[in-house]
Amino acid sequence: MAKSSVKPISHPFLLLLVLIAHTAMMVLVVLSFGVDAEVIKLAAAVLSADLVGSVILQIIHREACTVDTVLLLITGMSTIYQSCFGGLEFDVKHFAFCMASFVMCQISYAVTRNPYRAEKLKPLWYTLFFILVFCILFLTGSRGIWIDLGFITIQPSEFVKPVFVLICASSIHTQLKKSEIAGFHFVPDNLMLLLCTVVIAGLQWWCRDLGSLPTFIAAAGCAMLLRFCYLREKVSLRLIVFLAACGVGVAIFAWKLAPGYVQERLHSDIWADMSSTGYQQVKALTAIAEGGWFGKGVGNGTLIHVAAARTDIVFSTICEEWGLFTGMMTVVLVLFLPGAILTVPPRSYYHSGLALGVAAVFIVQMALNIFGSCNLIPFTGVTIPFISQGGSSMLASGILAGFLKAAQAPVLTDRQTQKGGK
Amino acid sequence: MEVDLSPLFEQYPLLREAATAFAVIFVNFCALVILIAAARERRRGDHRWIKEGKGYMLSCGSECYTLGAAEILIGRHPCADIRFDDKEISRFHALLTLSNGKWHIEDIGAHNGVIVNGVRIQQRCRLHQNDVITIGKRHLTVIKGVI
């Protein structure tokens, strides 16, 4: 067999690029704050994380370096942003979660890189899903979404996202297994996906956390679309019209029965109600306008004093201090992650489903956050993956990035076949 | 050691914008190079795939079908990876799978069955170079592509 003529991508070269990018940002930080202990701590943490991350990747494996490199770049940028909002103070907690998300990415890659094995683990994903649902129902207090352990708070609904994406992915073999009940033929896997979607929608309704619902609906919708397009035998126009009609019906039903606070957001005019319901959005929009193309200066923002400046309206906070250029660049960089599936396409239906689910989650979350901040849609209060502060969100995003990596560099070994199955 | 450089920005307001532009340009430059690296990774991924799948292809007369994924559906359905508009071929007829560097074919409920080298297969069957798969009236030969 002829030797590959394509030279392997040099990890040290990519690391150098990430280092240069972070150094350029640190130069700006130094010019803004001068040189003091906090700046040195921040620079040392970010740059050493790049070095350590690269060495670890070099030792473990050299495949799918796009996802890893972009992840290192984004997490470093995120640490710099979060440490500089409203004044310099190295955000150790955020940095630790960034590193943890990188580790989670490698772990989830190891678990899902073999589509045959990951598919066999589906009962485990269902179990995990219902355990998390149980946690949200009974451990978060009165219709809340947080579990307070005293020293740390956990948001289990964030961890449902990667588990739900795992449930969304399916292989052709699974889709070919049909069951019959009362004369109806159906694929049990599709029925389970439908059940999980209904459960999560009901749960979000119950917890009054409907902001994340579009993310789940998007992931489930993409999974269903993939199944109907490729794997269903009898796709007809009638079926599509029926499904579309059902979707419209559910949307109207949800619109009419939405809780009061949702109705308020759907119908509110933020400019007419600047002091209460529109406060955050007005401040966020004003901050973007005040920041201009190059920002008011690192640490000079005022939006940081508004609630959720580091999480739900983080895009506006970045735009205010770093400028709209930097804000847009950050968005593009985060979009690089799901975009990675376009560079190296998945080689199995399972990984296609996985990658599509992750892309749906990332893109919808970003759209909800940014468009919500800009008053293009009602304010939902979801995070931008890897950029917003929040440990649960960061870890869940890391797990999702691992799925993308698995889709890029799969391992196609089937133990059953290896043992002698023909 | 503490050095305060902020008066610089106050004295030269354009310096802040220049510094921000410098940082943004550098980060964008890095992102661009990573994109180029990703494109190279795609080519490398293609080569890795050819190695993994032994470069096998299916030849049917003058047509040649590359096996670009670990699961290839053959059938009459518009969404099949290899589609034959032939009444004797079921909508979803056969499934080719790759595992452990070996290609296998299986009958996924075809009415007329799947025949490999003249024998109708009853279970998953491993494929070798020059094997002839008969699906309906079509004869598909497993060939090795050029790497």
Neighboring chain B residues of A32 at a CB cutoff of 8 Å: 5-6, 9, 16
Token digits of residue A297: 């200066």
Amino acid residing at A149? L
pLDDT at res. A88: 85
Residue A418, pLDDT > 60, answer no
A154-197 pLDDT tens trace? 888 889 999 999 999 988 888 888 887 777 778 888 889 999 99
Give the separation between CA A375 and CA A362, rounded to whole angstroms.
20
Do B41 and A9 count as a contact with CB atoms less than 8 A apart? yes
Q: Are A382 and A312 in contact (CB under 8 A)?
A: yes
- Closest CA of chain A from B143, distance in Å: 15
A3 falls in which pLDDT band (50, 70, 90)?
A: very low
Is the residue at A61 inside a domain? no
| Nearest one of B1, B26, B25, B16 to A29, comparing CA atoms | B16
So what's the pLDDT on residue A79? 94
pLDDT tens for each residue of B117-139: 999 998 889 999 889 999 988 89
| CB-based contact B44 A333, cutoff 8 Å | no
Query: What is the full DSSP assignment across A163-185?
Result: HHHHHH---HHHHH--EEETTEE
Mean pLDDT check: name the lowest of A21-25, A64-68, A103-107.
A64-68
Compute the average pLDDT of residues A266-289: 80
pLDDT in the model for residue A128: 94
List the single best residue of A17, A40, A326 to mutate versus B (max B Cβ within 10 A).
A17
Tell me the residue ranges of DSSP E strands in B24-126: 56-60, 63-66, 71-75, 82-83, 94-99, 102-107, 115-116, 119-120, 125-126
Lowest mean pLDDT among A131-145, A257-271, A347-361, B48-62: A257-271
Instruction: Count Cα neighbours of A144 within 13 Å in the Cβ-side half-sphere.
Output: 11
How far from chain centre, in Å, is Cα A38? 30
Distance from CA of B20 to the nearest CA of A (A): 6
Enumerate the residues of chain A whose CB falls inside 8 A of the CB of residue B73: 172, 230
Which of A365, A348, A362 lies closest to A311, judged by CA? Answer: A365
Domain that holds residue A155: 112-420
Average of per-residue pLDDT across A334-352: 84
Spatial separation of the C-alpha atoms in residues A112 and B113, rounded to whole Å: 33
Residue A51 belongs to some domain of the structure: no
A82: in domain: no
Query: What is the side-by-side order of every strand in the sheet holding B71-75?
Result: B82-83, B71-75, B94-99, B102-107, B125-126
The residue with greater pLDDT, A344 or A142, is: A344
The pLDDT tens digits of the residues spanning A358-398 come to 999 999 999 888 888 887 777 777 889 999 988 899 999 99
Cβ-based contacts of A229 with chain B (< 8 Å): 79
Does A353 fall in a domain? yes
Residue A229: how many CA atoms within 13 Å on its side-chain side? 10
Look at B33 and A17 and tell me if their CB atoms are within 8 Å.
Answer: yes
Determine, for residues A2 and B27 on separate chains, whether the beta-carbon distance falls below 8 Å: no
Contact B23 A24 (CB under 8 A): yes
Both structure tokens of A321 = 């201090």
Confirm if A301 and A287 have CB atoms less than 8 A apart: yes
Instruction: Report pLDDT for A395.
Output: 94
Which of chain A's residues have a Cβ under 8 Å away from the Cβ of B103? none
- The model's confidence at residue A403, banded by pLDDT at 50, 70 and 90, is very high
Q: How many CB pairs under 8 A join A and B?
A: 175
% of chain B with per-residue pLDDT over 90: 16
- Tell if the CB–CB gap between A347 and B68 is shorter than 8 Å: yes
Task: Flag whether pLDDT at A330 surpasses 80.
Answer: yes
Looking at the DSSP bridge assignments, the partners of residue B72 are: B96
The answer to whether the CB atoms of B104 and A1 lie below 8 A apart is no
| A411 conformational bin, left if phi > 0, alpha if psi -120 to 50, beta if neither | beta
Which secondary-structure segment (H or E) carries A63?
none
- The dihedrals phi and psi of B133, each to the nearest 5 degrees, come to -100, 125
Residue A71 pLDDT > 60: yes
Under an 8 A CB cutoff, do B23 and A25 touch?
Answer: yes
Q: Mean pLDDT across the stretch A13-25? A: 85
Residue A279 lies in a domain: yes
For A288, phi then psi, to 5°, come to -65, -45
Nearest residue on chain A to B37, alpha-carbon basis: A9
Which of residues B47 and B59 earns the better pLDDT score? B59
Residue A94 confidence (pLDDT) above 70 = yes
Output A390 or A6, whichever has higher pLDDT. Answer: A390
pTM for the model stands at 0.87
What's the gap in Å between the CA of B104 and the closest CA on chain A?
8
Mean pLDDT of A295-299: 84
Distance between CA atoms of residues A106 and A118, nearest Å: 15
| SS3 category, B79 | coil
Q: Which of A67, A71, A159, A174 is nearest to A118 (CA)?
A: A174
Q: What is the Cα–Cα distance from A161 to A145, expressed in whole angstroms? A: 14
Decide if pLDDT at B5 tops 70: no
Residue A102 lies inside a defined structural domain of this protein: no
Return the residue matching tokens 């080298």: B117
Handedness of CA A145, A161, A108, A99 (dihedral sign): negative
**Sequence-separated (6 or more) residues with CB below 8 Å from residue A46:** A22, A26, A76, A79, A80, A95
- Restricting to B residues 69-108, those with a Cβ less than 8 Å away from any Cβ of A are 69-71, 73, 77, 79, 91-92, 95, 98-102, 104, 108
Query: In what order do the strands lie in the sheet containing B63-66?
Result: B63-66, B56-60, B138-144, B132-135, B115-116, B119-120
Average pLDDT rounded to a whole number, residues A77-88: 91
Q: Do A295 and B20 touch (CB under 8 A)?
A: yes
CA pair distance B102, A416, nearest whole angstrom: 13
Task: Please report whether residue A154 resides in a domain.
Answer: yes
Choose among B68, B61, B56: nearest CA to B130: B56
Predicted confidence at residue A236, as pLDDT, reads 57
Which residue of A lies nearest to B16 if distances are taken between CA atoms? A297
Furthest-apart CA pair in chain A: how many Å?
75
Q: Please give the ipTM for the structure prediction.
A: 0.84
Contacts for B24-29 with beta carbons within 8 Å, 24 or more apart? B24/A323, B24/A325, B24/A326, B24/A329, B26/A20, B26/A21, B26/A24, B27/A21, B27/A24, B27/A25, B27/A73, B27/A77, B27/A326, B27/A329, B27/A333, B28/A329
Interchain proximity A35–B41, CB inside 8 Å? no
Read off the amino acid at residue A28: L
User: Is the pLDDT score of A420 beyond 50?
Assistant: no
Q: How far B87 CA sits from the closest chain A CA (Å)?
A: 15
∠ CA A35-A36-A38, nearest 5°, is 120
What pLDDT is stored for residue A142 in this prediction?
A: 61
Q: Is residue A158 part of a domain?
A: yes
pLDDT tens profile A41-54: 999 999 999 888 88
For B109, the closest chain A residue by CA position comes to A176
pLDDT of A136 reads 85
Domain count, chain A: 1
